[in-house]
C-alpha cells in the first residue's frame, strides 16, 4: 500500500442539474424538528417534501390507556407554546359529552387562560419570525413579555410549560391571591411593548420586502387547503370560532376579528398583531366580570367530596374512593368540540363507550393541516423565502407529530 | 336549527337512497350521518357543491377502531363557512376490506389527513395521489399503531426495534430516482 493516495475527481457530466437539499431536522429556522427535503434549481424551489414525525409520541394511543383526567397532562405537551389552551379544550370536549355545565367563575377563568395563551403563542411566533428575517430586537422584546406570562403560569399552576391546569368540571385550583392584579398589570403595560415592536416591523422596509407578496394564497384555495385561524383570515375569509360557533359566552365580549386581504406573509403578520390587541380587550373585559363563587362544579360524577365529609360519613368516603380509584365515567357517545386556537381551529374528538377510559381521543391539529400547504405556497420561491413562509404559518411540531 | 338539519337528511335520502344508513344527533347539537363507504365520494361531493349546504371546509378526517366492533370507522368533520353548520359523516369499513375512495381531489386538506389515517389505521384510500406513511418512519414494519389489537409497546421486542433502527439505510429515506438522479450514491 502506498502512502500516496490519489484523489479521484468526479468524472462525467458536471452540468447543473437540480439539487437535493435537506433543511433540518436540526435547524432553528424550521421552528422545531421538521425536515424539509427540497429540490432546488439554483436558488429556486422546484418541489418540497416536508418530513414530519420526529417528535411522534403517539399521544392518541397513550390516551386510550389512561383515565379521562389523566389525559390532561398529555395535552399540554402537544403545544408547548399555548399549553393552557390545550388543557382547556380537552376538558371542554369531555364536559360537552357529559353534558356538564361548569361554574360561571370557571368559565371566565378559562377565557382568561385561553386569551393569555393566544398572546403567549403569538409572541413566540412574532419573535422567531422576526429573527428569521434578520430583526433581532423584536425577539428580545417579545421574549421579555413572554417571561411575564411564564411567571403567571408558574404562580397559577406551579409549572412554566407543563401546566396541566384543568380538570373535568373545573380547574386544579382556584386562582392564587393577587394573580388577577398581576395579569391586569400585564394587560395595562403590554401594549407599550407591542407598539414598540409594531414600530420596528410594520413599516420596516426590509420586513416589507421580505413579506409582501410572498407565500400568497387566495381565499378559496385557503379554504380548500383546510387553513384555519389567522392563516385563513389573512386570506380574507371571515371564520373565527369565537364568533361563528361561540363557546363560553364569547358572543357577549366586545372584540373584532381582523381580516386580511392579500393572503401573503405580511397579512398573516398584521392579522396576528391585531389579534393580540383584541385578546387584550377580551382579557380586560374578562377581568372586570370575573365573578366569585366556586371554581369547581358540584356534580357527584366528577367532584370529590370535601375532606371533612370523608372523615365524617361513610357515603362520602366511598364516593371519594370510587372517583379516585376508578376515575370519571363518561356516557357513551362521541363529541367534536373545537375552539379558536392560537394557530387555527383546535378540535378534540372524543369517543366513549361509557367506560373510565376513552375509546378514541383525537386531536384536530391546526398546525398539521396548515403545514401541509407549505409545498404549494413555497414552490417557485427562493430558499430564503421558504424560511419566511414556513415561519409565517406558525407551526408547532409537538402538535403536528403528537 | 334542527329543522334545517332534518330537511337536509331528507334531501340526502332522496338523492342517495339506501346509501344513507342512519343519522343521529350527538351532544344535543351535533349532526351525525352514517353513510355507505362505497358512496362516500358522491355524498361528500354533493354536500360540498349543493347550493344551500356548501360544506366547503373539511376540518378533519380520522378513524375510530372500537375494538368491540370489527373494522374501522372513518369519520369526516365538515363545516360550512356560509351557513355556519357542523356535520359529521361516518363510514364503517368492514375488517376484511379496509378501503375507501380518497377525497383528496375535493379538498387539499384531505391529502395529509388521509395519509395519517392510512399510517395509523391501515385504511387504503383509493385514488390518493401520494399514499405513504407520514408520522411513523417510512420503513416501519410493525403495522398500524392506533388499531386496538396493536399493543402499546409495539409488536416487536426492544432488541428487534433497536436492531431495525440501526439497520436504516439511504433507501429508507430517499427514493431510488432521487438517489440516482441527484448523484447521491456515487459508489454504485
pLDDT for position A7: 62
Which DSSP symbol is given to A56?
-
Residue of A nearest to B48 (CA): A224
Closest to A77 (Cα-Cα) out of A69, A65, A68, A86:
A86
Peptide bond into A396 cis (omega under 30): no
Residues of B in contact with A353 (CB under 8 A): 66, 68
Q: How far is CA B112 from CA A138, B29, B123, B129, in A?
A: 34, 28, 13, 10
Closest to A116 (Cα-Cα) out of A168, A151, A75, A159:
A151
| Window from A109-123, B6-20, B68-82, B111-125 with minimum mean pLDDT | B6-20
Which DSSP symbol is given to A101?
P
B75-114 confidence digits (pLDDT tens): 999 999 888 888 999 999 998 889 999 999 999 999 999 9
Backbone angles phi, psi at B158, to 5 degrees: -60, -40
Task: Confirm whether A152 is domain-assigned.
Answer: yes
Task: Confirm whether A330 is domain-assigned.
Answer: no
| pLDDT over 70 (residue A174) | yes
In this prediction, residue B181 has a pLDDT band, given cuts at 50, 70 and 90, of: low
Task: Confirm whether A343 is domain-assigned.
Answer: no
The alpha helices in A103-136, defined as continuous H runs, are 104-132
Interatomic CA distance for residues A85 and A110, integer angstroms: 8
Classified as helix, coil or strand, A98 is helix
Which residues, other chains included, contact A66 with Cβ-Cβ below 8 Å and sequence gap of 6+? A74, A357
ipTM of the complex: 0.86
Beta A333-340 vs A345-352: how paired, if at all? antiparallel
A189-236 confidence digits (pLDDT tens): 999 999 999 999 899 888 898 888 888 999 899 999 989 999 999 999
Q: For residue B37, how many other CB atoms are within 10 A of its CB? A: 22
Where in the sequence is the domain holding A218, given as residue range(s)?
68-300+366-401
**Average confidence (pLDDT) over A129-150:** 90
The alpha helices in A41-103, defined as continuous H runs, are 59-63, 72-76, 83-98
Classified as helix, coil or strand, A68 is coil
Q: How far is CA A289 from CA A102, A107, A286, A296, in A?
A: 16, 11, 5, 18
The alpha helices in B133-175, defined as continuous H runs, are 158-166, 170-173
Which residues, other chains included, contact B24 with Cβ-Cβ below 8 Å and sequence gap of 6+? B32, B34
Classified as helix, coil or strand, A270 is helix
8 A C-beta contact, residue A259 and residue A238: yes
Residue of B nearest to A239 (CA): B81
Interatomic CA distance for residues B76 and B87, integer angstroms: 8
Interatomic CA distance for residues B160 and A105, integer angstroms: 53
| Window from A36-45, A98-107, A174-183, A264-273 with minimum mean pLDDT | A36-45
Beta bridge partners of A48: A38
Phi-psi bin for B22: left (phi > 0), alpha (psi -120 to 50), beta?
left
A271-328 confidence digits (pLDDT tens): 999 999 999 999 999 999 999 888 888 888 888 888 888 889 998 899 888 888 888 8
B69-82 confidence digits (pLDDT tens): 888 999 999 999 88
Interatomic CA distance for residues A118 and A83, integer angstroms: 10
Cβ separation B136–A52 shorter than 8 A: no
Q: How far is B13 from chain A (nearest CA, A)?
A: 23
8 A C-beta contact, residue A296 and residue A169: yes
Residues of B in contact with A224 (CB under 8 A): 56, 107-109
Task: Confirm whether A316 is domain-assigned.
Answer: no
Terminal alpha carbon distance of chain A: 54
Beta bridge partners of B63: B74
Mean pLDDT of chain A, nearest integer: 88
CATH no. of B2-135? 3.30.460.80
Closest to A92 (Cα-Cα) out of A79, A75, A67, A77:
A75
Which of A51, A334, A339 should be substituted to probe chain B, the one whose Cβ sees the most B Cβ atoms within 10 Å? A334
Task: Confirm whether A274 is domain-assigned.
Answer: yes
pLDDT for position B78: 92
Q: How far is CA A38 from CA A32, A211, A220, A369, A401, in A?
A: 17, 21, 27, 19, 20
* Residue corresponding to grid cell 396541566: A164
Task: Confirm whether A60 is domain-assigned.
Answer: no
Look at chain A and report how many structural domains it folds into. 1
Interatomic CA distance for residues A59 and A50, integer angstroms: 21
pLDDT for position B62: 93
Residues of A in contact with B68 (CB under 8 A): 353
Task: Confirm whether A54 is domain-assigned.
Answer: no
| pLDDT over 80 (residue B177) | no
Q: What is the CA radius of gyration of chain B?
A: 20
How big, in percent rounded to 5, are the helix, strand and coil portions of chain B? 35, 25, 45
8 A C-beta contact, residue A400 and residue A367: yes
Task: Confirm whether A228 is domain-assigned.
Answer: yes
Task: Give ∠ CA B107-B113-B114 in degrees, rounded to 5.
Answer: 85
Closest to A338 (Cα-Cα) out of A69, A96, A80, A10:
A96
| pLDDT over 90 (residue B152) | no
Cβ separation A334–B32 shorter than 8 A: yes
In this prediction, residue B138 has a pLDDT band, given cuts at 50, 70 and 90, of: confident
Write down how long chain B is. 188
CATH number at residue A74: 1.10.645.10
Which DSSP symbol is given to A382?
B
Beta bridge partners of A37: A22, A49
A237-262 confidence digits (pLDDT tens): 999 999 888 989 898 999 999 999 98
Q: For residue A97, how many other CB atoms are within 10 A of its CB? A: 26
Cβ separation A226–B109 shorter than 8 A: yes
Interatomic CA distance for residues A17 and A23, integer angstroms: 19
Which of B54, B57, B78, B113 should be substituted to probe chain A, the one whose Cβ sees the most A Cβ atoms within 10 Å? B57
DSSP A132-179: HTT--HHHHHHHHHHHHHHHHHHHHHS-SS----EETTEESSPPPTTH
pLDDT for position A41: 83
Q: For residue B92, how many other CB atoms are within 10 A of its CB? A: 17
Cβ separation B58–A52 shorter than 8 A: no
- Smallest Cβ–Cβ distance between A245 and the set B65, B84, B174 belongs to B84
Beta bridge partners of A360: A351
Interatomic CA distance for residues A130 and B106, integer angstroms: 36
| pLDDT over 50 (residue A182) | yes
Amino acid at each position: 500500500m502506498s502512502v500516496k493516495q490519489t484523489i479521484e475527481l468526479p468524472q462525467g457530466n458536471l452540468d447543473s442539474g437540480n439539487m437535493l437539499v435537506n433543511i433540518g431536522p436540526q435547524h432553528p429556522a424550521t421552528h422545531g424538528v421538521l425536515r424539509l427535503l427540497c429540490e432546488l434549481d439554483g436558488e429556486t424551489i422546484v418541489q418540497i417534501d416536508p418530513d414530519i414525525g420526529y417528535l411522534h409520541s403517539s399521544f392518541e394511543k397513550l390516551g386510550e390507556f389512561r383515565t379521562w383526567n389523566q389525559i390532561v397532562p398529555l395535552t399540554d405537551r402537544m403545544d408547548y407554546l399555548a399549553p393552557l389552551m390545550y388543557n382547556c379544550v380537552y376538558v371542554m370536549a369531555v364536559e360537552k359529552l357529559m353534558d356538564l355545565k361548569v361554574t360561571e367563575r370557571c368559565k371566565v377563568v378559562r377565557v382568561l387562560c385561553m386569551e393569555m395563551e393566544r398572546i403567549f403563542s403569538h409572541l413566540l411566533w412574532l419573535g422567531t419570525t422576526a429573527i428569521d428575517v434578520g430583526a433581532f430586537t423584536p425577539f428580545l422584546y417579545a421574549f421579555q413579555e413572554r417571561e411575564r406570562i411564564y411567571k403567571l403560569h408558574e404562580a397559577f399552576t406551579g409549572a412554566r410549560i407543563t401546566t396541566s391546569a384543568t380538570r373535568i368540571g373545573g380547574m386544579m385550583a382556584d386562582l392564587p391571591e393577587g394573580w388577577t392584579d398581576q395579569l391586569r398589570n400585564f394587560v395595562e403595560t403590554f401594549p407599550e411593548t407591542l407598539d414598540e415592536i409594531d414600530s420596528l416591523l410594520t413599516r420596516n422596509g426590509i420586513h416589507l420586502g421580505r413579506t409582501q407578496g410572498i407565500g400568497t394564497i387566495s381565499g378559496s384555495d385557503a379554504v380548500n387547503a383546510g387553513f384555519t385561524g389567522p392563516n385563513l383570515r389573512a386570506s380574507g375569509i371571515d371564520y373565527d370560532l369565537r364568533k361563528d360557533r361561540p363557546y363560553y359566552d364569547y358572543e357577549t365580549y366586545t372584540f373584532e376579528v381582523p381580516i386580511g386581504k392579500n393572503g401573503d406573509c405580511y397579512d398573516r403578520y398584521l392579522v396576528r398583531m391585531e389579534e393580540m390587541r383584541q385578546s387584550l380587550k377580551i382579557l380586560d373585559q374578562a377581568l372586570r366580570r370575573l365573578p366569585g363563587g366556586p371554581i369547581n362544579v358540584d356534580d357527584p360524577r366528577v367532584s370529590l367530596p370535601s375532606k371533612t365529609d370523608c372523615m365524617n360519613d361513610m357515603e362520602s368516603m366511598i364516593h371519594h374512593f370510587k372517583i379516585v380509584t376508578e376515575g370519571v365515567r363518561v356516557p357513551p357517545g362521541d363529541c367534536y368540540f373545537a375552539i379558536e386556537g392560537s394557530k387555527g381551529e383546535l378540535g378534540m374528538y372524543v369517543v366513549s363507550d361509557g367506560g373510565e377510559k376513552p375509546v378514541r381521543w383525537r386531536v384536530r391539529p391546526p398546525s398539521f393541516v396548515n403545514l401541509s400547504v407549505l409545498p404549494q405556497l413555497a414552490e417557485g420561491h427562493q430558499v430564503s423565502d421558504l424560511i419566511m413562509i414556513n415561519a409565517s404559518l406558525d407551526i408547532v411540531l409537538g402538535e403536528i407529530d403528537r | 336549527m334542527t329543522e334545517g338539519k332534518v330537511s337536509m337528511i331528507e334531501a340526502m335520502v332522496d338523492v342517495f337512497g339506501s346509501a344513507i344508513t342512519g343519522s343521529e344527533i350527538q351532544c344535543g347539537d351535533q349532526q351525525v350521518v352514517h353513510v355507505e363507504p362505497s358512496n362516500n365520494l358522491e355524498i361528500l361531493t354533493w354536500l360540498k357543491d349543493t347550493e344551500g349546504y356548501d360544506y366547503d371546509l373539511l376540518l378533519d378526517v380520522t378513524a375510530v377502531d372500537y375494538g368491540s366492533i370489527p373494522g374501522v370507522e372513518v369519520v369526516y368533520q365538515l363545516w360550512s363557512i356560509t351557513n355556519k353548520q357542523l356535520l359529521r359523516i361516518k363510514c364503517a369499513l368492514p375488517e376484511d376490506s379496509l378501503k375507501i375512495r380518497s377525497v383528496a381531489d375535493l379538498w387539499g386538506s384531505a391529502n395529509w389527513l388521509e395519509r395519517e389515517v392510512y399510517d395509523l389505521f391501515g385504511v387504503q384510500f383509493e385514488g390518493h395521489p401520494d399514499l405513504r406513511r407520514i408520522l411513523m418512519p417510512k420503513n416501519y414494519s410493525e403495522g398500524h399503531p392506533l388499531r386496538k389489537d396493536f399493543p402499546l409497546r409495539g409488536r416487536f421486542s426492544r432488541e428487534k426495534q433497536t436492531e431495525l433502527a440501526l439497520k436504516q439505510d439511504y433507501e429508507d429515506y430517499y427514493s431510488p430516482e432521487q438517489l440516482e438522479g441527484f448523484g447521491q450514491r456515487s459508489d454504485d
